């Protein structure tokens, strides 16, 4: 914008004032929109802290479950929203190094045995309906031969019987 301002010489003072007024109006609208967005995020939260997720039936079900071992693809969300600790569900690739996990199949089998035996539950967020083929594949791997205990759409809880 500064380059345009400099190109306008003294003979075009009126055009300079029009340009300044336009920039001022633009700034006012940006501040107004930013303020409205900030108020909405403050009222409703964002991401996992959003009121719709915080108060969802799936999160409420996890919150009021008796103490048990929980595996999840989003253990941080479970802790944030319910106060309960959760283990990270096994993944074929280490997200930090990007390398394959050599013990993935063993970890997966151990988790699935615990869930089937009723010693643990598996809570999966959003993988089933993902647009990413890797996430859909991970959902299939993690939930293979497990019983759905509760299905809340984007939150699916798998468990066995004790």
Domains of the chain, residue spans: 7-44, 50-158
pLDDT mean values, one per 10 residues, the chain (162 residues)? 62 72 81 66 53 72 92 91 93 89 94 95 87 87 93 90 60
Report CA Rg, the chain.
25
User: 127: which residues sit within 8 A by CB, 6+ positions away?
Assistant: 73, 135, 136, 138, 139, 142
Q: How far apart are CA 96 and CA 8, in angstroms?
A: 53
Distance CA 108, CA 142 (A): 7
Residue 71 has a pLDDT of 97
First to last CA, the chain: 69
């Amino acid at each position: 914008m500064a380059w345009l301002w400099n190109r306008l010489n003294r003979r075009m003072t009126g055009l300079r004032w029009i340009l300044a007024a336009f920039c001022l109006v633009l700034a006012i609208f940006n501040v107004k929109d930013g303020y409205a967005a900030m108020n909405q995020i403050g009222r409703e939260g964002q991401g996992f802290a959003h009121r719709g997720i915080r108060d969802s039936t799936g999160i409420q079900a996890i919150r009021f479950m008796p103490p048990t071992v929980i595996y999840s693809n989003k253990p941080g969300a479970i802790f944030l929203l319910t106060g309960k600790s959760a283990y990270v569900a096994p993944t074929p690739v280490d997200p930090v190094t990007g390398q394959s996990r050599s013990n993935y199949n063993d970890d997966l089998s151990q988790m699935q045995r615990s869930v089937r035996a009723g010693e643990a539950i598996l809570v999966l967020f959003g993988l089933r309906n993902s647009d990413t083929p890797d996430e859909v594949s991970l959902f299939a791997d993690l939930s293979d031969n497990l019983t759905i205990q509760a299905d809340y759409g984007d939150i699916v809880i798998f468990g066995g019987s004790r």
